[in-house]
Amino acid sequence: MVASAPGKIIITGEHFVVHGSFAVAAAINKRARVSVSETDQSRSLIYSKNFQKSFLSSNDGRFFALKTVASKVFAEFGKPRTPVLIKVDSEIPLGSGLGSSAAVSVAAAGALTRFLGNEVDKDKLLEIASEGEKKVHGNPSGIDTETSLNGGVLLFNKKSGSKSIPLTSAIKMIAVFSGIKRDTGKLVKKVALKRKESPYFFSSLVDSSSFTSLEVADALSNGDLPYLGSLMSASQCALAWIGASTVKLDELIETALENQDCFGAKLTGAGGGGSIIALPKPEKAELLLERISKKYRDSFIVSIPQEGLTFG
């Protein structure tokens, strides 16, 4: 049984979404694949192309999320008759803020559920994959798993859930991984401290992030790229104020905006490392990628796939 799920970018609202704001995220054209098969070994195994072979029962922290997902699926649907081999192969750079762990959790939850002969119920799968994410960063809003499961563009809110945003024309962004792995749990805690220091201003930024995200959803569906880019750049200021940006990320944003190739740019995900996204003028996308990828190998054009979790 093979399942795959996409990574994601957050277009606006990261961090503030944890505190109740709306946010907008999109699936990306990089996926994690998980296959599940019977094995004649004496116990179940996890093999990741991105790490090295490891036993499911080992205490390797890198597999905590996956092991949590597997035990939740087994608790829900019963254990497999024989030990299983779970193979992971992800194209999403690890620690890049591009949703690698959520994509693995979603694909694993899907593959294991089907392997055990059950149909995939989206709400149940989301619940199981979120348990995996909790192992990675404590208190996730759920935006990563929701986007990976559904694909496309989502307007998301912790309370009201997600709404798919239709695109009238294809939108291309450029994602650039700084090469510095980010630690979401650490950043989420840092932001909580900032909230404690300046509760009133923070709360006004949560509201502002909601309004921005609602406007971003409209700009995306209307194809209004200049407006979308300016909203992205403006939201970078709020992210910098809460301490999510770094000198490196600021430098990357500056590089992307040089030569007037872009309408806007910002960090994406938790920050403190990880990646930025830039919205290029459509005719400049390839040129910009060429320019940036000379310095940053993990750069690519994000096209937004409609497919979330798929099988086969």
Q: Is the CB of residue 153 less than 8 Å from the CB of residue 29?
A: no
Q: Applying CB under 6 A, which residues contact ligand PMV?
A: 10, 14-15, 17-18, 97, 99, 140-141, 143-144, 182, 184, 188, 269-270, 274
In terms of CB distance, is 112 or 143 closer to ligand PMV? 143
Computed from CA positions of residues 65, 13, 17, 178, in that sequence, does the dihedral angle turn out positive or negative? positive
Place of tokens 């390839």: 286
In terms of CB distance, is 8 or 67 closer to ligand PMV? 8
Position 100: which residue type? S
Q: Which of 89, 144, 207, 218 is catalytic?
A: 144
Per-residue DSSP letter, 2: E
Instruction: Please state, in angstroms and rounded to a whole number, the distance separating the CA atoms of residues 123 and 192.
Output: 28
In terms of CB distance, is 282 or 305 closer to ligand PMV? 305
In terms of CB distance, is 113 or 150 closer to ligand PMV? 150
Element (H, E) at 55: strand 54-55
Distance from chain centroid for Cα 277 = 12
Q: Report, in Å, the least distance between residue 132 CB and ligand PMV.
A: 13
Catalytic residue flag (residue 144)? yes
Position 72: which residue type? K
Q: Report, in Å, the least distance between residue 8 CB and ligand PMV.
A: 7
Give phi and psi for 225, each to the nearest 5: -65, -45
Radius of gyration of the chain (CA): 19
Q: Report, in Å, the least distance between residue 15 CB and ligand PMV.
A: 5
Q: Report, in Å, the least distance between residue 97 CB and ligand PMV.
A: 3
**Residues annotated as part of the active site:** 144
